Structure 1
Amino acid sequence: MGRRADEKRRARMAELGGEATHFNTYEMVRLARDERAAGGTVPGPFLATMRRTVRLGYFTDQALAKLLREVTEPVLNPGEPWADAAMADAAMADAPPGLLAHLLTATGSRPTAAWSRAALALCGPEPAAVRDAAVRWLALAGRPRTLPLRARPGESAGDRGYDVHNADALKGLAWLLSVLPPDPASVRALGALVETSLRRVPGLGPHSPKVANAAVLALARTDHGAALGELARLAARVTYKGTLKQITAALDAQAAERGVGRAEIEEMAVPAHGLTGTGRREISLGGARGLLEVHGTRTRLVWTNAKGRQVATVPAEVRRDHADALKEIKASARDVEKALSAHGDRLDRQFLADRTWTHADWRARLLDHPLLGTLAGRLFWLLEGETPMLGGTTLDGDPVCARPDAAVTLWHPLGRPAEEVAACRALLERRGVTQPFKQAHRETYPLTDAERTTRVYSNRFAGHILRQYQLNALAAQRGWTAKLRLGVDDSCPPLHRELAPWGLRAEFWVESSGGDQDGDLTGSGGYTHVTTDQVRFHRIGDPHNWNHACGGAYTTRSAPVPLEEVPERVLSEVLRDVDLFVGVTSVGNDPTWQDGGPGGRHRDYWRAYGFGELSRTAETRRDLLARLVPRLAIGDRCAIDGRFLRVRGDLHTYRIHLGSGNVLIEPYDRYLCVVPRRSAAVHPAGLPYEGDGMLAVVLSKAALLAGDAAITDPTITSQLH
């Protein structure tokens, strides 16, 4: 009887060890006490369930809390790869005794001096070895759980975010790195921890903002040049407001300490990442030579072996004799790519920053910088408000000589002579330059007669149906703030972006679409779609307008700024953002929505958008394709036809809409549903700018349909016959 009871008890504990939390705390206490009384130990997964239940429960069971004070092993909850690795190292004496338990005490907002001293003392005489172990553990943070968890309906899924018990130890791990000898690997690990911790979990939100904030604090306290550069990179990447505020405060403090502005410190902080020339790094390992070069926003590493012959892979002697150095080189190359992406976005935002550099600072911080120079050299600049430059040369290719204090600004096509804009575009194509973002081909949005009539608002982008979650994510990337609209009794401000240099706040009015009908609400209660309305401007500091989360008219609380009083570039850039939001998140460019979505309510909108007039962005795409198509391998099968790219296949002739990417089969305009693969979003080489995902989709569909006789995908072939 006793053995069967033991087996039954242990089977029940094993079962409960697969749950995120368990409601019956009395049962858990009884099982644990009986197991200890029988001379056994409480299994780690079951202990983890008890810990999570106490931390996430609506009330505290005193008996369970008392039991958890008595049972302390394993120190961390098993089931997360990083925690498993840390406990394995501790068991093998590869981690200092007591360190993991100390990490769990990181429950405050910042480490005290006593906490830091104790952490450093626990690391013993080889703190660098502990640092290396911590970096290894952090590399596993956020990976899929090794012990999946079940979650009951309405309960947070414990296997989709950090374990609530282990999260404190992750905070402590970040703090620990800030008191250990710094190096690029630890800085890299902290930056990655920020991004991993802010990665959104469906239905739950970010993994753990408190862990992200701990990593930011650790970077701010790390005495290493790379740490400041990592903060500058994160400032251009992070959209979560609380963490972004902490990053901003850290950079502001560094700027004040050096007596420069915030924008200047972000540029001064960018490290070279080992590059010795602009976009180049020469490497020597034994008899082998390597050349790391930047191409656009990617890097390429080419090797020459000891015999002087270029080889396709890393030479065997390098892999054998210089494994650690090779690992660091590859990590540095990834750092370069991440930095290029982030700082390209930061430069793109300078159009609304009203930024001016002296010629001397511009050359030192941008054009001649080993990393930023690869971006600045592909952009147009304006010297003293008059002379356009591509990098450091005039449009004729002559070097620019200027006084050190001469003013340099980022060139913008709005207000520039048409012949100058055309010359800039032609120069890019002639030299084969791909800009990191649209500049010479940038869309402009001057005030229209209709907007002069409405006076205080623009209806240019009203009446669209957008995917709310995708819209909010894209808006955050562009510096806008968006509150998720839920099917609850709440109020929401419009999407808005503060334009501090101009003292303005831009607003994009949206409201929920469809009420509470089937298909309009997600499982977590958020509306899947919103409809669009006005774009307005208000003074910064004016009260926000708002409407009900479930829809309805807006309540206005402050007077709008007349559009004619908004600076031309500000208006143009804000409307360009809104055009981007519509172009990317509209249901009209979803090829699976031909039935009009839930209940068929939006069929007319889908058809009107998916095959209607082109937006300014789509017009730019059409103009570029008109010049590009003749140079394509399938150029003899393609032609621009108004709003469409016409493609002649072997079976049919097709028309691809240049705004939505939707496809019609001639001659009866029969719809062809082609869902692009993820790889179709990769930007084709040889184009004058990056960042137009729909252009990549149009070209990929054109290449597919030009060879329609070779298509094997049954979801497509079934529609062709």
Structure 2
Amino acid sequence: MVGTEKSLEVRLYEAGVRERTGGGAAVQELLQSLTVAEQRRAALWFHEKLCRSGAGRGDEWAVWWLSTRRLGWSAAEADELLRRLVGADALVDPQQLLQQFAPLTLLPLSAAVESGGCDRMLLRAARTASLSAWGDQDEDAANAVIRRRLDALIGPDAEDGTGLPGTLLDDEDGYGPRMRAEHTGMLGGPGVAAFLEHCAGQDKTRATKRWRKRAAELLAGAERGEEVVRALLEGMAEQPEHLVVAPQSWGVRRWAGIASERNERLVRGLLWTAAALRGAWVVPAIGEVALNAGTGTGGSGGWCRNARIATGAVAVLGEFEGAQDEQAVRWLGRLKGRVRNRTVLKGIATSLDAVAARSGLTPSMLAERGVPSLGLDARGMREEELGAYTAVLSVEPSATASLSFRGPQGQVLKSAPKAVREEYGERVAAVREASKRLRALLSAERARLEEHLVAGTRWPGADWERYYADHPVTGPLARALVWEVCADGAAAGTGWVSGVPERAAGGWALAGAEGTAVPLGAGARLRLWHPVRADEDEIREWRAVLGERAARQPFRQVLREVYRGVGVPAGGRVLEYGRVRALMGERGWGGGQLGYFGAGYATEMVRELPRRGDLAAGAEAAWRAVLPLELVDRRDVDGGIASRCVTGALRFERCEGGPRAPWEAAGTGAVPPLVLSEALRDVALFTEVAAAPAQ
């Protein structure tokens, strides 16, 4: 009787049970006995079962076998199968799709091929998922084979002359269409599509050696390959932000940025390919990409246009060696001053550490190699002719920037006359912008030099001359300080002789307080003079010499307070919290915030002396000072905002064995004199400047 006939789905289910309980290949036998229409219905049932439950290998086999048959699929049915995988109504969990990509995709792909038509947005979303799918992504692997078949189905968006599939430089952002339009002929060259396809598979921050080797091979086989890399990177460096609309496995996503996810991967692949190139354009192009991607609207803010592209670019900058590393460091230093995104900043620090490790320098020493000249000459001056007037930008030894305008009779003006501003407006604006950049740069240089003073950093003579004494920006600051040269060998670390830099025949010398000069030979090593290492007579001599010359220093060096032979303060000082917090930030102390919340009633402020990033290679230990602070509860008068705190007892800790080694408590007697003096100097500053008035 017809009413008692079992449905096809029940028969399929029972066949599966018989097969699992040892009844033979029941599912295969049943499928082979069905009509084409019934097989198509069975395919829909097995595929839905696989999507909903991630069923076992028997269901995967059935879906695979049915995908090899011509079942008379329609475009609507192909779309239905794809919508089970991607889009807002997907049945399958996104993680399952990545784990079982090939079994789940084979049947929809077969239906799409047979029907000759399918929703291209769904195909693109499936193609996006293929790039992150689990399993081997080599060109002969299942995921890559499926991706090529998807590319064939998607096809080019339009005949634009490039011959590239629509998934390369796609139209989900403004970057892809612009590059296609601007570089049509070059992108259509032999081997270019294969190379770009490889680049588009780079979805990690760092590329593997295997990936880079294959990229180099494909680049060598691409017509005008290096030109393609340069054009596409420079295009990304100039790409303005806009609304990006892209299909995802869970729907359609819209965001403000500069690249779709596929073009993002493509650019990251191009960046790692460029890491092996040696053209003069390479480092600037990568730096500009990092700057554009790593900054937000107007070049500021914690949000950035594309953090993944930016982190990829700064990782590549950390790979350069030889003649390119100094240029890369300069770019990393510039990015450090412009980028606010924490992830990108962490990548910049990692790259600087990597370059420093290869060069044997500390990151802080390395940063000096990236200080730009801003157009200043050896005197630390830049002159810009503006008709009858001259703009003069200069560096003062006190670490300040000076911008003035010299008139035709030699008169000096603080600002440009109206007529000059009207006629040379753009050039006046440019020199003012340079003055602004110079002020920021000098502030950073002054802080870094003072850190070197605390660290006891030592420089080879050649590096000291190039990056300090002779540098247009750093030079005026460095020449205003007292230095020491090791007279009897750097290894011994004894026999240091102090002096201020002065020109000598063929180089530099240090002129001592008594008038003698020590020439700086090729093997000289130098460090900044610190009064804690000098006796009282030498300190008085230097103070007298610089006082007679009315010399100004970028920070207190010869007049620096020295603390030795004094006890550590016990604490108990009541301070204005807002003021002391600001002072501590300026002096490099960090720690938790005080406030009327769970953990806000007590904190510890810490300063590494010096910071471990400034420790020379082979340094025995790192040291830090720890100053406890407790909140003074005044919520009745301070409106719920922490206003006062009380200090605890200053203590010291040491760390040996690298950045991850633990800190251990140390007695005051074991603390190096320089560390002790600098910490006590800071605490004296805090308690003097931020002392709370008596009640």
In the other structure, the counterpart of 1:366 is: 468
The partner residue of 2:120 within 29, 33, 42 is: 42
In the alignment, the residues of structure 2 paired with residue 8 and residue 544 of structure 1 have an alpha-carbon distance, to the nearest angstrom, of 54
Q: Is the 8 A contact 1:505 1:538 kept in 2?
A: yes
Matches within 5 A, 1:395-544: 401-405=517-521, 408-412=526-530, 414=532, 435=554, 439=557, 449-450=567-568, 498=612, 499=615, 502-506=619-623, 535-541=651-657
Query: What's the secondary structure of 1:278's corresponding residue?
Result: coil
In the other structure, the counterpart of 1:174 is: 271
In the other structure, the counterpart of 1:348 is: 450
**CA shift digits 1:496-523 (9 cap, x unpaired):** 7545565123356799999xxxxxxxxx
In the other structure, the counterpart of 1:131 is: 230
In the alignment, the residues of structure 2 paired with residue 240 and residue 447 of structure 1 have an alpha-carbon distance, to the nearest angstrom, of 41
In the alignment, the residues of structure 2 paired with residue 302 and residue 149 of structure 1 have an alpha-carbon distance, to the nearest angstrom, of 57
Give percent identity, aligned residues only.
Answer: 17
Query: How far did residue 109 of structure 1 move?
Result: 3.0
In the alignment, the residues of structure 1 paired with residue 648 and residue 119 of structure 2 have an alpha-carbon distance, to the nearest angstrom, of 60
Query: What's the secondary structure of 2:519's corresponding residue?
Result: coil
Query: How far did residue 182 of structure 1 move?
Result: 1.6
Q: Is the 8 A contact 2:383 2:392 kept in 1?
A: yes
Q: Is the 8 A contact 2:326 2:370 kept in 1?
A: yes
Q: Is the 8 A contact 2:510 2:517 kept in 1?
A: no
In the alignment, the residues of structure 1 paired with residue 212 and residue 497 of structure 2 have an alpha-carbon distance, to the nearest angstrom, of 55
In the alignment, the residues of structure 2 paired with residue 462 and residue 161 of structure 1 have an alpha-carbon distance, to the nearest angstrom, of 51
Query: What's the secondary structure of 1:355's corresponding residue?
Result: coil
Query: How far did residue 369 of structure 1 move?
Result: 1.7
Query: How far did residue 565 of structure 1 move?
Result: 1.8
**CA shift digits 1:623-670 (9 cap, x unpaired):** xxxxxxxxxxxxxxxxxxx757xxxxxxxxxxxx9xxxxxxxxxxx9x
Amino acid at match of 1:96: L
The partner residue of 2:285 within 186, 198, 203 is: 186
Amino acid at match of 1:174: L
Amino acid at match of 1:84: G
In the other structure, the counterpart of 1:216 is: 317
Identify unmatched segments of 5+ residues in structure 1: 320-325, 452-457, 488-493, 515-530, 547-557, 580-614, 623-641, 645-656, 658-668, 670-721
Matches within 5 A, 1:211-290: 211-212=312-313, 214-220=315-321, 223=324, 226-227=327-328, 229-230=330-331, 244=349, 246-254=351-359, 272=373, 274-282=375-383
Query: How far did residue 568 of structure 1 move?
Result: 1.4
In the alignment, the residues of structure 2 paired with residue 343 and residue 201 of structure 1 have an alpha-carbon distance, to the nearest angstrom, of 24
Query: What's the secondary structure of 2:120's corresponding residue?
Result: coil
Q: Is the 8 A contact 1:443 1:616 kept in 2?
A: no
Query: What's the secondary structure of 1:112's corresponding residue?
Result: helix
Change in 2 beyond 3 A, CA 1:374/1:148:
farther
**CA shift digits 1:515-548 (9 cap, x unpaired):** xxxxxxxxxxxxxxxx9997432351299787xx
Query: What's the secondary structure of 2:653's corresponding residue?
Result: strand
Q: Is the 8 A contact 1:193 1:215 kept in 2?
A: no
Change in 2 beyond 3 A, CA 1:113/1:334:
farther
Q: Is the 8 A contact 1:149 1:159 kept in 2?
A: no
Q: Is the 8 A contact 1:235 1:247 kept in 2?
A: no
In the alignment, the residues of structure 1 paired with residue 444 and residue 404 of structure 2 have an alpha-carbon distance, to the nearest angstrom, of 21
CA RMSD of aligned residues (A): 7.1
In the alignment, the residues of structure 2 paired with residue 348 and residue 229 of structure 1 have an alpha-carbon distance, to the nearest angstrom, of 21
Change in 2 beyond 3 A, CA 1:465/1:151:
farther
In the alignment, the residues of structure 2 paired with residue 532 and residue 361 of structure 1 have an alpha-carbon distance, to the nearest angstrom, of 43
Query: What's the secondary structure of 1:537's corresponding residue?
Result: strand
Query: How far did residue 376 of structure 1 move?
Result: 1.8
Query: How far did residue 275 of structure 1 move?
Result: 3.6
**CA shift digits 1:184-206 (9 cap, x unpaired):** 73364266479669x9979xx97
Say whether 1:568 aligns with 2:677.
Answer: no
In the alignment, the residues of structure 2 paired with residue 398 and residue 137 of structure 1 have an alpha-carbon distance, to the nearest angstrom, of 59
**CA shift digits 1:319-376 (9 cap, x unpaired):** 9xxxxxx99x999989877865665454233124323457786445412222321432
Query: How far did residue 569 of structure 1 move?
Result: 1.0
Query: What's the secondary structure of 1:449's corresponding residue?
Result: coil
In the other structure, the counterpart of 2:477 is: 375
Query: What's the secondary structure of 2:320's corresponding residue?
Result: helix
Change in 2 beyond 3 A, CA 1:311/1:211:
same
Amino acid at match of 2:685: T
In the other structure, the counterpart of 1:93 is: 183
Q: Is the 8 A contact 1:103 1:170 kept in 2?
A: yes
Change in 2 beyond 3 A, CA 1:49/1:109:
same
Query: How far did residue 209 of structure 1 move?
Result: 8.6
In the alignment, the residues of structure 2 paired with residue 304 and residue 105 of structure 1 have an alpha-carbon distance, to the nearest angstrom, of 60
Say whether 1:75 aligns with 2:75.
Answer: no
Matches within 5 A, 1:51-62: none
In the other structure, the counterpart of 1:104 is: 200
Q: Is the 8 A contact 2:498 2:512 kept in 1?
A: no
Query: What's the secondary structure of 2:623's corresponding residue?
Result: strand
Amino acid at match of 2:652: R
Change in 2 beyond 3 A, CA 1:357/1:177:
closer
Query: What's the secondary structure of 1:536's corresponding residue?
Result: strand
In the alignment, the residues of structure 2 paired with residue 133 and residue 303 of structure 1 have an alpha-carbon distance, to the nearest angstrom, of 45
In the alignment, the residues of structure 2 paired with residue 446 and residue 161 of structure 1 have an alpha-carbon distance, to the nearest angstrom, of 57
Say whether 1:617 aligns with 2:695.
Answer: no
In the other structure, the counterpart of 1:115 is: 215
Amino acid at match of 2:355: A
Deviates more, 1:179-188 or 1:381-390: 381-390
Q: Is the 8 A contact 1:441 1:620 kept in 2?
A: no
In the alignment, the residues of structure 2 paired with residue 181 and residue 35 of structure 1 have an alpha-carbon distance, to the nearest angstrom, of 45
In the alignment, the residues of structure 1 paired with residue 427 and residue 674 of structure 2 have an alpha-carbon distance, to the nearest angstrom, of 52
In the alignment, the residues of structure 2 paired with residue 440 and residue 146 of structure 1 have an alpha-carbon distance, to the nearest angstrom, of 58
Q: State the structure with more CA Rg.
A: 2
In the other structure, the counterpart of 1:680 is: none
In the other structure, the counterpart of 1:677 is: none
Change in 2 beyond 3 A, CA 1:92/1:242:
closer
Q: Is the 8 A contact 1:22 1:49 kept in 2?
A: no
Q: Is the 8 A contact 2:484 2:497 kept in 1?
A: yes
Identify unmatched segments of 5+ residues in structure 2: 1-73, 152-165, 409-415, 487-495, 504-508, 593-597, 600-605, 632-646
In the alignment, the residues of structure 2 paired with residue 438 and residue 51 of structure 1 have an alpha-carbon distance, to the nearest angstrom, of 62
In the alignment, the residues of structure 1 paired with residue 541 and residue 171 of structure 2 have an alpha-carbon distance, to the nearest angstrom, of 60
Deviates more, 1:28-37 or 1:341-350: 28-37
In the alignment, the residues of structure 2 paired with residue 543 and residue 224 of structure 1 have an alpha-carbon distance, to the nearest angstrom, of 24
Q: Is the 8 A contact 2:286 2:313 kept in 1?
A: no
**CA shift digits 1:247-293 (9 cap, x unpaired):** 444345456xxxx9998776567664654333334568999987665
Query: What's the secondary structure of 1:538's corresponding residue?
Result: strand
Q: Is the 8 A contact 2:271 2:286 kept in 1?
A: no
